[in-house]
């Protein structure tokens, strides 16, 4: 929400600080870069201290860095504060799927993760929708005050939630027994994690993910694909205001409602999860696990990879001229939203299913690429749409997405062979054998 609500008030900041649009969009970039860094650097802190302390500290410090943005006297304060705010937001985002896993069993885990992804996806859409009305009636500073209020509420809610991370719970229970009995021989399997140092955390969180980014074929191709998809999604938060405010003359509040199509598509994708799960279960089982092979999840990614450019083409050619009814570019967001959600959810499932115990490192590398590209592409958004026009700017993006469609279908058919060529997956197989 904080990432995209910012774009709703870009006009107000641009006028007050008298800077070009690209400088204001840079605030979106620094925030996304911060999220990428925080997601990777702080992702394993919960393994030592538990999830609840990490959430409380991260939400508090996130709020601390929202405050300077609300009170900013210059644009530099906004850019720097949003970067550091992104770091602590990233630590929350990287650990929250783990919290979902902590409290769900295998039967409902996929559905629970899908519901979580709905919040992650629609949070961006909701932020852009609410932000338009807040900016229109209260001014750009109030979008930050609203985020700060929400952060305070989140802090209070998290304070009421108990720890869910099993290793942390067992370590606390062990210490309690030691104190009650005076016998230090009591121990648990996870005690060794407490001896991990900060340098070891950094090495673990950066070393293997970066290695996998460049040398694991699965990671190389899927990082590229998800990076482009995510970048185009965040470019929409620059493109939609151009189409609905500048070209169609809508007020900021109404322009924010243009994202309804994307949000609706995300909801449809999550509602479809039980059906997709059944289709995945119909695939031939992996001899090693007895479960459907990881490539079964790529079936859903393939559907999403087709729907994304379909929605992008639809938006591109109904955005302009303004004589085309406004409902059509909004409706084009539905397949776009469905496609994005399917790609995000089931690509993560495929990567996790392929690497298993190395999944955290693989997904961490994906986070770096995904948020890195998402932070860069929006910088070109204003120039791209002013130079090419809404029709051809959107078409260019759709064509890029079409060029990447074969990745999903190649992995669906030949992914099992590609996995066999992975040194890490082969090493894991040897260890399990």
| pLDDT score, position 180 | 79
- Do the domain assignments include residue 202? yes
* Contact (CB, 8 A) for 353 and 297: yes
DSSP string, 242-280: IIIIIIT---HHHHHGGGHHHHHHHHHHHHTHHHHHHHH
Which pTM value belongs to this model? 0.87
Write down the pLDDT at residue 102: 81
Say if 430 falls within a structural domain.
no
pLDDT along the chain (433 residues), means of 10: 87 93 92 90 75 92 96 96 94 81 74 78 84 93 96 94 81 80 74 59 73 89 93 91 92 92 92 89 79 89 96 95 94 96 90 79 85 90 90 95 94 89 65 44
* Rounded-to-integer distance, Cα 355 and Cα 366, Å: 13
Report the pLDDT value the prediction gives residue 205, as an integer from 0 to 100. Answer: 66
Residue 212: inside a domain, yes or no? yes
Quote the CA–CA distance of 221 and 26 in Å, as a whole number.
27
- CA-to-CA distance for 274 and 143, rounded, in angstroms? 37
300 domain-assigned: yes
User: Smallest Cα–Cα separation from 4: which of 92, 119, 125, 116?
Assistant: 125
Q: How many domains does the chain have?
A: 1
* pLDDT of the residue at 402: 96
Task: Judge whether 427 lies within some domain.
Answer: no
Instruction: Judge contact between 353 and 411, C-beta under 8 A.
Output: no
For residue 260, count CB atoms less than 10 angstroms from its CB and return exposed for 0-12, middle for 13-18, buried for 19 or more: middle
CATH number of the domain enclosing 64: 1.20.1250.20
CA distance 334 to 263: 7
* Helix boundaries (H) for 139-161: 141-160
Residue 431 covered by a domain: no
| Residue 428 forms part of a structural domain | no
| pLDDT score for 387 | 92
Residue 145 structural domain: 2-188+196-422
Specify if 328 maps to a domain: yes
């Amino acid at each position: 929400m904080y990432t995209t609500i910012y774009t709703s008030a870009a006009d107000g900041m641009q006028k007050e600080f008298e800077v070009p649009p690209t400088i204001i969009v840079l605030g979106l970039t620094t925030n996304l870069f911060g999220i990428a860094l925080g997601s990777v650097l702080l992702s394993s802190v919960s393994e030592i201290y538990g999830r609840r302390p990490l959430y409380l500290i991260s939400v508090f410090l996130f709020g601390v860095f929202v405050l300077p943005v609300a009170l900013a006297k210059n644009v530099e304060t906004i850019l720097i504060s949003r970067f550091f705010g992104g770091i602590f937001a990233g630590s929350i985002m990287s650990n929250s799927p783990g919290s979902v896993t902590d409290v769900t069993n295998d039967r409902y885990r996929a559905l629970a993760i899908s519901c979580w992804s709905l919040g992650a996806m629609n949070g961006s859409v909701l932020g852009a929708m609410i932000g338009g009305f807040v900016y229109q009636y209260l001014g750009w500073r109030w979008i930050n005050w609203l985020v700060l209020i929400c952060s305070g509420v989140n802090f209070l809610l998290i304070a009421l939630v108990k720890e869910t991370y099993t290793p942390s719970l067992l370590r606390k229970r062990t210490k309690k027994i030691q104190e009650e009995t005076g016998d230090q021989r009591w121990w648990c399997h996870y005690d060794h994690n407490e001896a991990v140092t900060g340098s070891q955390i950094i090495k673990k969180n950066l070393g293997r993910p970066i290695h996998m980014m460049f040398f694991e074929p699965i990671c190389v191709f899927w990082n590229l694909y998800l990076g482009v998809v995510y970048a185009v999604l965040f470019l929409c938060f620059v493109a939609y205001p151009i189409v609905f405010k500048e070209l169609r003359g809508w007020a900021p509040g109404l322009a924010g409602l243009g994202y309804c199509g994307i949000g609706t598509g995300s909801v449809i994708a999550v509602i479809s999860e039980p059906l997709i799960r059944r289709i995945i279960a119909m695939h031939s089982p992996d001899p090693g696990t007895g479960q459907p092979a990881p490539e079964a999840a790529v079936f859903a990614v393939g559907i999403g990879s087709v729907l994304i450019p379909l929605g992008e083409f639809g938006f591109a050619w109904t955005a302009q001229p303004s004589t085309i009814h406004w409902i059509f570019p909004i409706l084009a967001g539905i397949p776009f939203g469905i496609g994005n959600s399917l790609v995000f959810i089931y690509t993560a499932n495929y990567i996790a299913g392929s690497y298993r115990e190395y999944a955290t490192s693989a997904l961490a590398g994906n986070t770096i690429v995904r948020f890195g590209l998402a932070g860069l592409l929006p910088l070109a958004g204003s120039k791209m749409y002013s130079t090419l026009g809404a029709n051809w700017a959107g078409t260019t993006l759709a064509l890029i997405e079409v060029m990447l469609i074969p990745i999903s279908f190649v992995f669906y058919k030949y992914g099992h062979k590609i996995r066999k060529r992975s040194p890490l997956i082969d090493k894991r197989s040897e260890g399990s054998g």
